[in-house]
Amino acid sequence: MCETHVTNTAKHCGACNRCTEGFDHHCRWLNNCIGKANYKTFFNLIIAFFLLALDHNITNAVVLAQLYKNNIKTEQITIKVFKKQVVYPFKICLFIAVSFNLIALIFLAHLIVFHIRLQKLNLSTFDYLRLQENKSRESKIVRNKE
């Protein structure tokens, strides 16, 4: 543990080996603690990432739709360097990109809604997890008594 004086809202993070004021959670994707000093930046980052993935998905979907709408034949598009037709492999790549981006969008939307909900409840992620753990522990005690 740290040897420094901290407030009641600070928590020591084992992953970072430091105390964070207004501790919310340790983000393994950023390899950093999220707290009072950087929570807004973290929230803006996940919104920006959501918008970027949404833009990427819309662009890919429009290109795919245009390829199918115009019924472009494989012999119409070739890459001169490779001397190969690329429409079919390109469609497959776009479809895969749209599929993975859709999954990412679902997870990011859930993360954004989760953090908005936490803010409305005036809870940190850490507090929320502790509440869930306590509820789980209490339900196990009730089941054991029955």
Q: Where are the domains of the chain?
A: 39-123
pLDDT at 71: 64
The one catalytic residue in 13, 19, 27, 33 is 27
Q: Bigger pLDDT: 38 or 86?
A: 38
For residue 85, pLDDT beyond 90: no
- Checking if the pLDDT of 40 tops 90, the result is yes
Q: With b meaning 16 or more CB within 10 Å and e meaning fewer, what string describes 11-43?
A: bebeeeeebbebbbbbbeeeeebbbeebbeebb
Catalytic annotation on 27?
yes
Mean pLDDT, all residues of the chain: 84
Helix (H) or strand (E) holding 13: strand 11-13
User: What pTM value is reported for the model?
Assistant: 0.77
How sure is the predictor about 53, in pLDDT bands with cuts at 50, 70 and 90?
very high
